[in-house]
Amino acid sequence: MAKKVKVGVIGAGMISAFHLEGYRECSDAEVVAVCDVVADRAKAAAEKYDIPKTFTSAGRMLAMKEIDAVSVCTPNINHMQSTLKALAAGKHVLCEKPIAMNARQAQTMIDATRKAKKKLMIGLNNRFFTGSRFLKKIIEAGKIGKPYYARSLSIRRRGVPGWGVFGQKKLQGGGPLIDLGVHAIDFMWWIMGRPNPVSAYGITFDHLGSSGQGLGDWGVGYNPTEFSVEDMVGGIIRFEDGRALGLDISWAAHTGDLYWMRLFGTKGGVQLMPEFVIYEMEGKTKIDSAPQLGQENQYANEIQHFADCIRRGQQPISPGSQAVVVATMLDGLAKAARTGRVVSLRTA
């Protein structure tokens, strides 16, 4: 059996705790170092998770020969830089979502991954629920026919993240579109069998975020004067084969929290949230015995999968090469919102 994967974690903020918990549960990997530009954060994580070494610079941590792989858990602006450094140092990378600030950066990461002959997996954690894999199998088996339209709503009443740098465009690349939209797009696109996107149209708003009305259950506070992103997005992506995905995404809106996903197929349909229900499958009008989404630690599944891919030389189920397509869709929606025009996503 291959040896344990030795890991360094870059960034010791909110999401890194989920990675560190995942590594603690994974008997095939071991965190040997953690790094954060804020020394106390790295030290606190090291103490809590019994990690031998801490650093304030990723470069110095990556010089550790024993490290096989890293988790990149920094703000979006640093994803490309840390990933490129890690690949150049010969490490595999699990990078948090979104893959990067935009598709151009993402492509640079893909090119570097190919050159380094290492793995680049993206933390698209919704793909790692048991229910997600169950659903994907049902769709691949054609049980709901051809899924032709999907709609995903991810709307918080008062949920601008009250930590980190989420409201700052120059550090994150965008607001709820890139933060929540990446999940909404990725999950539906993956479940639909990754159809080729051809155009995007979208509109963004900021009425609550910059006026300080976005504060609620998602952290202790944010500075509205630094809020430089949208707070709400509506959009639609068209795919080459005539299918489509519609989106409504928000960090703050005058409504109740609303997480709602539907997939409409020629022979059946699926409701994923608030509960997982399959309609019109195999002659039945409603099947609700599917494993519910959100009932397990998807991050632990994600970390175990990363370790498995490294140890067995397999391709991850959420590779950078797929995340770059999602980044293209996000860029297209943002451009459509800026210009008021439909944006072509065709590459040829």
Ligand X SMILES: NC(=O)c1ccc[n+]([C@@H]2O[C@H](COP(=O)([O-])OP(=O)(O)OC[C@H]3O[C@@H](n4cnc5c(N)ncnc54)[C@H](O)[C@@H]3O)[C@@H](O)[C@H]2O)c1
> Which residues are at the interface with ligand X (CB under 6 A)?
10-16, 35-38, 41, 58, 73-76, 78, 96-97, 123, 125, 163-164, 179
CB of 13 to ligand X, least distance (A): 2
CB of 69 to ligand X, least distance (A): 16
Q: Which residue is nearest to ligand X, using beta carbons? A: 13
**CA 226 to CA 200: how far, in whole Å?**
28
CB of 257 vs ligand X, minimal distance in Å: 16
Instruction: Specify the residue, 64 or 198, whose C-beta has the smaller distance to ligand X.
Output: 64
Least separation in angstroms between residue 280's CB and ligand X is: 31
Identify the bridge partners of residue 5 per DSSP, sorted by sequence position. Answer: 29
Cβ 81 to ligand X shortest distance, Å: 7
What's the closest the beta carbon of residue 342 comes to ligand X, in angstroms?
Answer: 27
Secondary structure string (H, E, C) spanning the chain: CCCCEEEEEECCCHHHHHHHHHHHHCCCEEEEEEECCCHHHHHHHHHHHCCCEEECCHHHHHCCCCCCEEEECCCHHHHHHHHHHHHHCCCEEEEECCCCCCHHHHHHHHHHHHHHCCCEEEECHHHHCHHHHHHHHHHHCCCCCCEEEEEEEEECCECCCECCCCCCHHHHCCCHHHHCHHHHHHHHHHHCCCCCEEEEEEEEECCCCCCCCCCCCCECCCCHHHCCCCCEEEEEEEECCCCEEEEEEECECCCCCEEEEEEEECCCEEEEECCCEEEEECCEEEECCCCCCCCCCHHHHHHHHHHHHHHHCCCCCCEHHHHHHHHHHHHHHHHHHHHCCCEECCCC
Q: Which is nearer to ligand X, 167 or 197 (CB)?
A: 167
Nearer to ligand X, 128 or 279 (CB): 128
* Closer residue to ligand X in complex, CB, 40/66: 40
CB of 226 to ligand X, least distance (A): 14
Residue number with CB closer to ligand X (74 or 328): 74
Report the residue number, 53 or 238, with the smaller CB distance to ligand X: 53
Dig out the tokens for 176 from the structure. Answer: 């709820």
What is the distance between the alpha carbons of residues 97 and 94, in angstroms, rounded to a whole number?
9
Please say which residue, 17 or 244, places its beta carbon nearer to ligand X: 17
Q: Minimum distance between the CB of residue 118 and ligand X, rounded to whole angstroms?
A: 19
Q: Which residues pair with 147 in a beta bridge?
A: 265
Q: Residue 56 or 321: which CB sits closer to ligand X?
A: 56
For residues 304 and 28, the answer to whether their CB atoms sit within 8 Å is yes
> Nearest approach, Cβ of 219 to ligand X (angstroms)?
9
Q: Which residue number, 37 or 244, has a Cβ lying nearer to ligand X?
A: 37
